[in-house]
Structure 1
Amino acid sequence: MRIKYGEIAFYSKWLMNHLSLAGKQSRMRMKFIELLVVKSEELGKYHVQLLKEHCHLDEEGNPRIVEVEGEQARYDVVDSVVFERDFKELLEEEFHIEENEENLEMLLSVRQSIENCPTAWSGDQALEYEMVAKLFDQIRN
């Protein structure tokens, strides 16, 4: 299964907010979300790395934060166009969740929970459901 870093929050939130599960199905969903949390933390590290590459740094080598009157504090980015391009590229990068012995039961359980969801979706929620269903359609078994 391939997922873009920029989609982690969407899938985590959707699975938590749109599926009422109990028992094993709930545990399998949480196991999947825990994998996404690890990847989200990885994304955070990559984001900090990008900031260090694109910002003026403070004395400790951390991205400097500037406060502009009337605005929210922000990072002191040297070239915001280049930074935004690189960050967008990072969000589009994909990671892989293996369909191995350790993960297969979890992936199949979550897919089954999605397929058997009794809710009739419409509008934006129908589009979101379709995105989640397509993600789990990647599973070969």
Structure 2
Amino acid sequence: MQVKIENQKLAQSINLLYNLSLKGKQSRHRTKFINALREKYQEFAQDERELLKEHCNLDENGEPKTIENGTKWDVKDLDAFTTAKNELFEEERVFDGGDAQEMLKTVKEVLLNCDKEFAGAEAEIYDYLCDQFEKGDDEE
């Protein structure tokens, strides 16, 4: 099984899974998957930081400058930055592999058999995760 999750959905996925009430094996595997998601999220955050350094004017410390009282980045070329940022946010992180198989199957089972009611953004991320896990089976 292979599961792909977009960078922009990593934090929401962590939050949704974190708030599920689980026991035993399901809880352990969920925690392992959350840890894997966090690791990928940290990579994404580092990639985003590098993107900012590449596309923004830098201060004397080599950090991206802000404008308008720190509310916006001082971007050199907004179109190029927007394109690169969208690509980064839509890039998928892949979860697969020998040791992860059982964990992924358990998390899939948890999601597909979840009886918790979701609304709003939480419902959207739940639907997204279910779709990604179902696609993961198709790609085996």
Give the structure 2 partner of residue 14 of structure 1.
16
2:76 paired residue number: 78
Gaps of 5+ in 1: none
Q: Structure 1 pair 12/52, CA: closer, same or farther in 2 (3 Å)?
A: same
Could you tell me the TM-score, scaled by structure 2's length?
0.83
Pair 127,77 (structure 1): closer, same or farther in 2 beyond 3 Å: closer
Instruction: Give the total of aligned pairs.
Output: 136
TM-score (ref. length: structure 1): 0.82
The alpha carbon displacement at 1:61 in A equals: 1.8
User: Identity, % of aligned pairs?
Assistant: 36
Change (3 A) 1:12 1:75: same
- Give the conservation status (yes or no) of the 8 Å contact 2:16–2:122: no
CA RMSD, 1 decimal: 2.2
3-state SS, counterpart of residue 51 of structure 1: helix
What is residue 47 of structure 1 aligned with on the other side? 48
SS at match of 1:101: coil
Using the TM superposition, give the Cα deviation of residue 128 of structure 1 relative to its aligned residue in structure 2, in angstroms.
4.0
Secondary structure of 2:87's aligned partner = helix
Q: Which runs of 5 or more structure 2 residues have no equivalent in the other structure?
A: none
Q: Deviations over 1:70-108 (max 9, x none)?
A: x5443221122321221111111112111x221011101
CA distance in 1, matches of 2:50, 2:43: 11
Paired residue for 2:109? Answer: 112
| 1:40–1:128 CA distance, 2 compared to 1 (3 A) | closer
Q: Is the contact made by 1:5 and 1:94 (CA closer than 8 Å) also made in structure 2?
A: yes
Change (3 A) 1:4 1:125: closer
Distance 1:89 1:126 in 2: 24
* 1:19-34 correspondence runs (5 A): 19-34=20-35
CA contact (8 A) 2:5 2:92 kept: yes
SS, match of residue 93 in structure 2: strand
Does the 8 Å contact 1:107/1:139 carry over to 2? no
1:119–1:45 distance in 2 versus 1, CA, 3 Å: closer
Output the CA distance in 2 between the equivalents of 1:46 and 1:126: 28
SS in 1 for 2:43: helix
Q: Does 1:131 align with 2:128?
A: yes
Task: Point out which structure has higher relative CO (alpha carbons under 8 A, 6+ apart).
Answer: 2
* Aligned equivalent of 2:100: 103
